[in-house]
Structure formats: C-alpha cells, structure tokens
Chain A
C-alpha cells in the first residue's frame, strides 16, 4: 500500500488556478482511474477532473468555492504499489508526445517534484479529458401528474424545485416547502391564488462558480475602464425586407437569419477604419493589441448565467456562415457544452436584449476589449420621409460602450455611423 498524492492538473490553456465547484468523492470512497472526482471552474468553463489511479480516498483538500492553484495536492489516495507505479510510468512517458496537448492525467507531477509553473502552453483545443458539466441538460423534472398539475396552478416552474424523493422526484411536500420558502414564481398574472401573502424569508447564497466569475469580471471592467456610451437609431426597414426575403428563399440546409449576423457583417466591414475598437488593451503594461481578424463575442444567457461564446474570424464568413456558427455556439453555451476555447479570445462583443425589449442599454465592456455593441428592441414607429409625410419605419437602437482611454468619442461615433450606413443600405454590406 502506498499513498498517492493527486495534484490539481492543468485543466486547460494557460490556466493557473481553478475554483472548486463540487467534490464528487468523499473520504473512504474507492476511486478508479479516469473516474471524475472533482468539478472545477476556470475563468470560463466548468470541467471535470478525472482521477489518475485506482485506490481509496484518504483525504481531500479544499471546499466548493475555494480557488486553488494548479499543482496543489488535492486528493490523497491509498493505492497498491503496482497501480501507482503504472501511473508514474504514464507520467514519465507523457512528455514524449511532442507538441500535443498534455492530458491532465499526465500533467500530475511526480511526487516530490515541484509543480512546473505554466507560463506558456501549446495551442490545444479543449484538453482531451475534462468535459463541460451540463447542468441537468433539458431533462424534465421528475414529478407525478398531480404534482405537475399543482405546480401549473401555482405558477411554479418545477425545474427550479429541488426534489427530495428517489432520483430527485419532486413530492407535494417539496412543492409546499419551495413555496413556503418564497420560491420563484413564474408570474403573478392569472389569479393563481395564494400569491399575495407577505414573504419574510431571506435566502443566503454563497456566490460561487460562474456567478462569482461574472461578478469579478464586471467589477473589474467597471472599475478599470472609463466607459463612454453612444446610442444611435438605425432604420432597419430595408434590412428587414432583405432578411425576410432571404429567409423565405433560403435553402433547407441554410440557417434562419436573425438580425445579429448582419450586424456582425456590418462591424466586420466598419472596424478596419477604427482598429482600436477591435482590440485588447492591457492597461497595466500600456499595450494595445489591434487585431486584423474579428473574433466576435456574443453575450449569451444560459441556465448557469452569462457566457460569451466567440465567432472566430467573422471576417472570413458570409452571413449564412455567421448565422450557422452563432446558432451552434449559442446552443453549446446553453447546454453547458461549449469548450473553454469557444468561450474565450473575443476581440469585440455584441450583447442583444432586443428580443426582450428596452430602448437603451449601457453595456459593460468585456475586458480587455475596448468596445461592446448593444442591440435594442426593433419597433415600428412613425418618421418623416423626404416629402415630409409621416411613414411607418422599422427602427432599432444600437447602444454601445467604448473604452474612453483608447477610443475617442469622435471615433466611436464614426464607427457607429459607418455601421448605421451599412445596415440602412444593406446592399452595401455585400459589395
């Protein structure tokens, strides 16, 4: 019997620390090689950490919410010598694989060796082993017809109710408890009955995982970046006609076009004249990196919170390809299946609340970027035409924020006016 000390492996491109989301094993459990033992969150994705050896867990280090550096000893496993030796042999072999992405298993350094600092990393796709944790991906809540009916009457979304029954089945009691605790109601409309009583409960929640990451990023962006906001009205009547036409005429294998692919296309055309808005600014070192390619971040609401999947090299795509990639990424993000690679590296970001409504937003820049473009609701409104007659037009606001350290108000306005020009005269998008 020997003790094997398992260290937090490198879970992806250049990550130096990760936050513990959930332990999947406890002291006394028997583990086998490759069994996921821990979920950790890097700055973007949640990944499973697999075990490297067979054995019995004798100690675990760290609790959910703790941020631990790569290489920290996190799991003590009692093994028989043979398996431990085998694990070591694998480690020894691993470095031979030249430029290939090291598997996390192979990364676990030998006992007694210092964890190697990860300064540079090869350019891997997502590491081979860890997979994103899908939070109960679309499985319907387990509950009897009577419980489902009562939930409907009470406007309670059963997906939000924790079930205490076998396999997480939601019982009548669970529903009662959920409501007594001031559970989230879907809506108050429609006279569901009991929804008017004063509620006195306070739920304390530890902010961990993606939510904490979002909180930190937002605070940093607002603290470090002097935002300048610029709002302009875009007449999308012609663009809407074109979009409708394309959707009617499209081939079956082509995706349905929304407004966003056209906005991406307009930005791709306009940005070369304002390269400082398609850039990363490292304020501490005073370095601005202006990118030739456009990697468009698309802020996406997911069941876990805000994520920003990235359309890489939008400048090399037509609107159909942009739409297809957009659909694929949004689904991956919502299903929790987006890789870390797909969630990082954007050079400018679009955020759209247009579907929900809202006239103007003041979006927060996705640091270290220097610009974010917000899409507001499209509505049909009266405007004067050239002859002074009132005509119905389809209008939409773009609410954008820029890093004023880098982008002057004048340049920001020029960029948005250029985008406006392309969107209002959509033929020019394709010239």
Chain B
C-alpha cells in the first residue's frame, strides 16, 4: 500500500472542498484532495450549473415559441422550433466538462495533489483511498477538511429507478416527459418543474405543506404562484405522495389529497425533490469520534469540529445548504489552518431561486426582523415601473424589490426581490448588508440607467418616503 502524508487533506471536491484545497495550496500548505464523483461536486456535475443550463434552454425555447404564429416584438417564426432533449443534455455536459476541467487545472496550479477515489477514514487523521486506478493509498494528514456534501433524500415508498427520479436523474434525461409529476414544491422541485413546463411537459406538483417555497414569505412568492397558474401548472397542496403503481403499461403516482382521499395521477416521470441530507455515511465518520448536531457535523464559526485538527464545511456542516456558503467556509478554513486569525462570520447568506420569475432573499424579511425585536420600515418598488424591466419583456409578472430597514437608524436588515433576472442583483444586495449600508447609502449611490439596479435605489427611497418613479 502506498503511504502519503500531508498537512491538509480535503475530502470532497465540491464547491466547499476545492476552494479549500486551492486556498491551502496558495498558502503553501502541502495539500491533497480526494474526490470520487468528479471535481466540482454536486454543484458542477448535477446541481447548480447543469440545472441552470437546463433552465436557460427551457426559457429560450419557451420564448421562441412566443414568436410562432402571430409573432411578438415584430419577430415571427414561420414554424415551431424543434426540441431534442438529448441535444440539450449534450450541450449541458460540455459546460460541465469545461468547468470541472477548469477546477482540475486550478488545483494543479495551486500545487494540490488530486486523487480520484473514495476515502475511508480509519481514525480522525488517517484514511485509506481506493483510487479509480485500483490502487490503495493510505493518507495521514495533520489537518483534515471534511467536505463530503449532501445527497438527495429518497422516499422509501418512492425509490429511484425507472420513472422515479431525483434532481440528478432529471438532468440526465434523454427524452422529455409528456407528463411530469414533481413531488415537493421547494426550490429544487419548482426550478426543474417550471423548466419542464417551459419545454412543453404537463406538470403537476404534489406538496405536503399548504404552500410552495416555505422559506420565502407569501408576498414574495405570489408572482411565482401566478406564473404557475397562468401556465396551467397543477399545484396540489397538502397532499402526500404514497407510492407508485403500474397499470396497463402506464405509471401512476398515488397520493393522498387534502381531504385524505387516495388519488392517482399518470406520469412519464416522477421527480422526487423533497430535500437533501448531509452525506455522513460510507466514509468512516464513525471511526473519527466527531460529535454531530442533529444530522449535521457540529462546527463552530471557525468550522472546527469536536476533534482537534478536523474541520467540516458546506452541506455536511449544517444549513443553509448553499454552494456559496461552502466556498466561503472552505477559504476561511484553509486560512485558519495556515494560522491566520479569521472566522466564517457573515451577516447574511443570500439565497436565490431560479424559478419563473426568479427570487432573491438576503437578510431578514419584515416578519423575521419583527420576531427579532426590531422595529422596521419597508420600501417596495414594483419592477413594472422600471424601464429596463419593460424593455426585457417584464412588467406583467408582479415582480418587485423590497427592502427592510431598522426604523431608528435606517440600517438595511433585509432585501428581497422577485422578478426576471433578479438573481443578478443578489451581489449588490449582499454587499449592502455586509457593509452595513443604510437606506440613504443605497439611495445615494448613483445607479446606472437603464438597469434593474435602479429598482433597488427606488425601494430604499420608498422606505424613506420619497420614491421618484412611483407615488409615495
């Protein structure tokens, strides 16, 4: 058996692990990263990036369809565009390949040794890796960064296989399902379900709660609900999926409706999107003596676990399960190992949903702020009053930007938006919150015309009682 030693061992090459390894390499630490499922993790291979490629293509197709027949914007297509699922999947794969290849290059440039294999810990600082070339390598590390990420939650009565797929399977399809049933109306289910609808599938959501997107307030999700309604997406709330049945060569999802009666619905594909859970099994966590907090590994603000020299980041280390949080933690951990004084200490972590229209949330909603004992003022700017929004065919979807600020000193506590392309505003929102901006700071920053960002300044002006482009 080959034996290796290193200062830093990173297990998992996703958006938490690979930045940790690159940063550790930059800081001159002797670093090894072990990953089996392809560098880039869920994010690059079967999550953020592939799904956004899929959503982009679906949106493009839906937009093109609007030009068929009578046309729109003076553009007419004489016949309907043709869609080929395999072609989309192939295009998506080239993007993934480009990005994962890029990660490998970056690791190499940072002098990080990448090992393609599955790590299994024998104790907290030693693991054995079965590599893809059939070799066995034993690695002993001074510091360990656990970044194994998370996996899709599978429902015991709806096991993956055949017509039942998870988000991973949904991104590997070669044929568009005519009838798609999505179990779970959280952000993953909605993003993919909406994309299927745009491509022409009939889509039904089966959601156990009495509302969609429970993490966002009702005002914010109203435009999304409206889009679903207008596009004849069937959203069944307070319904519990029960199982799958085959009859006459057709597949059905059985579920209990809000009245407790059993129903069934035909499906060419059943997408189960009921959440993700940390990957804590199969790599020897039990040998490491690390305390958990619920289903996650317990860490402090320095991402330290209960075991000295062992760190955990990303989805493994608790909510929110977001790639950008993992990346930030990864960078901090590498610096902490290198002896820097630092910590993972953000004021907020922005979250985005690529639904139709898109949703952004940074910081506290008005209700959350009130729960924390804050007295707040809010300002809301409808994007229908923004010139750029109208010129991008927005304006009828109910989109808006809403800012929540402390009444006493006008410090911005939260920013939320719903509308086309608003995900790209999330950076300015997050910056405002991290910098401790007041309403006057944003309102006093000259925002470029014509862009959607003007809407942010206007929302702040609205909170201050004197917006320009709407009547106060």
Contacts and interface: CB of A to CB of B under 8 A. Distances in A.
Interface of A: 137, 140, 142-145, 148-149, 152-153, 155, 165-169, 190, 192
Most buried by B among A137, A152, A166, A192: A166
Given A166-B441, A167-B409, A168-B409, A142 B436 contact: yes
B246 interface: no
B341 A155 contact: yes
A148 B346 CA distance: 10
Nearest to A153: B341
Interface of B: 340-343, 345-347, 373, 409-411, 434-436, 438, 440-441
B434 A144 contact: yes
Contact of A167 (B340, B346, B411): B411
A152 B440 contact: no
13 contacts: A140-B347, A142-B436, A144-B434, A144-B435, A145-B435, A152-B341, A152-B342, A152-B343, A153-B342, A166-B409, A166-B438, A167-B438, A192-B341
Contacts of A169: 436
A144 B340 CA distance: 19
A242 to B, nearest CB: 25
Q: Which 10 A-B pairs have the closest CB atoms?
A: A167-B409, A142-B436, A144-B435, A153-B341, A169-B436, A167-B411, A152-B341, A145-B434, A166-B438, A167-B438
A149 B409 contact: no
A356 B340 CA distance: 28
A148 B438 CA distance: 18
A148 B434 CA distance: 10
B341 A166 contact: no
A125 B346 CA distance: 41
A149 B438 contact: no
Nearest to A142: B436
Nearest to A152: B341
A190 B441 CA distance: 37
Contacts of B342: 149, 152-153
A134 to B, nearest CB: 9
B285 to A, nearest CB: 24
B341 A190 contact: yes
Contacts of A168: 409
B436 A167 contact: yes
A169 B441 CA distance: 12
A104 to B, nearest CB: 23
A169 B341 CA distance: 22
A142 B341 contact: no
Nearest to B340: A153
A388 B436 CA distance: 65
A142 B434 contact: no
B432 to A, nearest CB: 11
Nearest to A163: B436
A229 B411 CA distance: 52
Given A166-B441, A167-B409, A144 B341 contact: no
A343 to B, nearest CB: 22
Contacts of A148: 345
A167 B413 CA distance: 13
B343 A166 contact: no
A148 B341 CA distance: 11
A167 B439 CA distance: 11
Most buried by B among A137, A144, A167: A167
B111 to A, nearest CB: 25
A188 to B, nearest CB: 13
A165 B441 CA distance: 12
B127 to A, nearest CB: 30
Contacts of A190: 341
Nearest to A134: B373
Contacts of A153: 340-342
Contacts of A143: 436
A148 to B, nearest CB: 6
Contacts of B434: 144-145
A166 B440 CA distance: 10
A149 B440 CA distance: 25
Contacts of B411: 142, 167
A22 to B, nearest CB: 16
A185 to B, nearest CB: 12
A144 B431 CA distance: 9
B375 to A, nearest CB: 13
Nearest to B441: A166
A169 B342 CA distance: 20
Contacts of B440: 166
A204 B410 CA distance: 33
Contacts of A137: 373
Nearest to B440: A166
A144 B346 CA distance: 10
B412 to A, nearest CB: 10
A145 B440 CA distance: 20
A168 B438 CA distance: 11
Nearest to B411: A167
Nearest to A192: B341
A263 B373 CA distance: 35
A19 B219 CA distance: 48
